[in-house]
Chains A and B, each alone.
Chain A
Amino acid sequence: GAGVSQSPSNKVTEKGKDVELRCDPISGHTALYWYRQSLGQGLEFLIYFQGNSAPDKSGLPSDRFSAERTGGSVSTLTIQRTQQEDSAVYLCASSALAGGTGELFFGEGSRLTVL
């Protein structure tokens, strides 16, 4: 596709359930990022994938959060046993260049509401 695609756009779940959020980056982009934006807050870094290198997971807030990137393309962010504080917009971005040296293109985000 022409841009970064995220799904679902909206997800409402009950506390304790697991959720999966999907990101399709721009074709050919080797760098992929996940960020979280809570109401009234700035963007919080979660994880960064670059090619075949080990991902930078330093931003994941707890071991309930995990992410994978299959075949260097699609990425899935999984949140296990969701809590109300996980409610936020989860944004994915991709870049053609490594190391944050290139322009980032963001998706529209997945809005997660945990009841």
Chain B
Amino acid sequence: KQEVTQIPAALSVPEGENLVLNCSFTDSAIYNLQWFRQDPGKGLTSLLLIQSSQREQTSGRLNASLDKSSGRSTLYIAASQPGDSATYLCAVTRNTGKLIFGQGTTLQVKP
């Protein structure tokens, strides 16, 4: 059974810091891994999608890496801003089509 773990559960940093969020999964036979952002009381917004054949994806100040063999992904946020404060979730997909989510990391960026 696929399990997805995110560490840390919560993180508080001062504005301007670079930071890394971690995601690990137990079954390396995945199709892809996605990182999402969820603001309080809102739905999820897709940030980055990494296919199983890829090693990383970048969008603006965000960079996500994927190491299938070790079952790990990281989301790197450069020069963090207060507007980055949210919960970040990773999810993996296998051939069943459904996504398995981690519990999320709640990030607070202090001005």
A residues in contact (CB < 8 Å) with B = 4, 31, 33, 35, 41-43, 45, 48, 50, 56, 58-59, 91, 93, 98-109
Residues of B within 8 A of A100 (CB): 31-32, 93-94, 96-99
Q: Is there an interface contact between B97 and A48, defined as CB atoms closer than 8 Å?
A: yes
- How many residues of B sit at the interface, in one of the four size bands? 20 to 34
Q: Is there an interface contact between A108 and B42, defined as CB atoms closer than 8 Å?
A: yes
B20 interface residue (CB < 8 Å to A):
no
Q: Is there an interface contact between A101 and B32, defined as CB atoms closer than 8 Å?
A: yes
Residues of B within 8 A of A58 (CB): 98
Residues of A within 8 A of B102 (CB): 42
List, sorted by A's number, 13 A–B pairs whose CB atoms are closer than 8 Å.
A42-B103, A43-B91, A45-B98, A48-B98, A56-B97, A58-B98, A100-B31, A100-B32, A100-B96, A100-B98, A101-B31, A107-B43, A109-B42
**A-B contact number at CB 8 A:** 65
B49 interface residue (CB < 8 Å to A):
yes
Q: Is there an interface contact between A106 and B97, defined as CB atoms closer than 8 Å?
A: no
Q: A42-B104, A50-B97 are in contact. Are A99 and B31 (CB under 8 A)?
A: yes
Which chain B residue shows the least CB distance to A6?
A: B43
B100 interface residue (CB < 8 Å to A):
yes
Q: Is there an interface contact between B44 and A106, defined as CB atoms closer than 8 Å?
A: yes
